[in-house]
């Protein structure tokens, strides 16, 4: 039996409870991840941000006349 089928076999009240529990878990994780990042020293430095910016693709829009805008 698949996980989806097991979920569908639950009563409607239990499905709501499981759904709300998953939403709460995600919300708590989002709130605590920033604190954990600071506590364990995983905060990115300016050098890390600059290196990431160099790796990201940059889009150069060109108008109909073929002139590049910046």
What single DSSP character describes residue 65?
Answer: T
pTM: 0.53
pLDDT digits (tens, 9 = 90+) for 41-69: 787 889 999 999 999 998 888 887 766 66
Instruction: Quote the CA–CA distance of 14 and 32 in Å, as a whole number.
Output: 27
Asked whether the predicted pLDDT for residue 70 surpasses 70, the reply is no
pLDDT of res. 55: 94
pLDDT digits (tens, 9 = 90+) for 20-42: 999 999 999 999 988 888 888 78
- Ramachandran category for residue 62: left, alpha or beta (phi over 0 → left; psi -120 to 50 → alpha): beta
For the CA atoms of 58, 63, 64, 65, what is the dihedral angle to 10 degrees?
-110
């Amino acid at each position: 039996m698949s996980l989806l089928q097991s979920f569908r076999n639950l009563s409607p009240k239990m499905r709501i409870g499981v759904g709300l529990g998953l939403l709460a878990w995600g919300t708590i994780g989002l709130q605590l991840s920033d604190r954990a990042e600071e506590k364990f020293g995983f905060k990115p430095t300016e050098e890390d941000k600059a290196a990431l910016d160099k790796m990201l693709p940059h889009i150069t829009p060109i108008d109909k006349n073929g002139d590049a805008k910046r």
